[in-house]
């Protein structure tokens, strides 16, 4: 699941045409924190994952690989 989350975070960000710093700013987290989520060295808390899903206009199930 971790690998899927990291992959989908990166794919969604690129589809939206955003940089990591832009996503971090819009989700009120640090750039380093977001980088860690894409690298899967850290897992986001649920509250942050919800913000990211809202930004990307996708479901939490999609981000974690439970739906396509």
In a domain, 11, yes or no: yes
In a domain, 48, yes or no: yes
- Of residues 6, 67, 2, 59, the one with CA closest to residue 35: 6
CATH classification at residue 50:
1.10.260.40
In a domain, 68, yes or no: no
CB 67 within 8 A of CB 61: yes
The H-or-E segment that residue 16 falls in is helix 2-16
Give me the tens of pLDDT residue by residue for the chain, a chain 68 residues long: 789 999 999 999 999 999 999 999 999 999 999 999 999 999 999 999 999 999 999 999 999 999 98
- Give residue 1's pLDDT: 73
Secondary structure letter of residue 45 according to DSSP? -
Structurally, the chain folds into a number of domains equal to 1
- Give residue 60's pLDDT: 96
Its domain, for residue 33, covers 2-63
In a domain, 46, yes or no: yes
């Amino acid at each position: 699941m971790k690998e899927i989350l990291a992959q989908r975070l990166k794919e969604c960000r690129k589809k939206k045409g955003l940089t990591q710093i832009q996503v971090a700013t819009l989700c009120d987290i640090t750039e380093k924190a977001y980088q860690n989520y894409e690298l899967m060295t850290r897992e986001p808390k649920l509250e942050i994952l919800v913000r990211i899903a809202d930004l990307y206009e996708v479901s939490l199930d999609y981000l974690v690989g439970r739906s396509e």
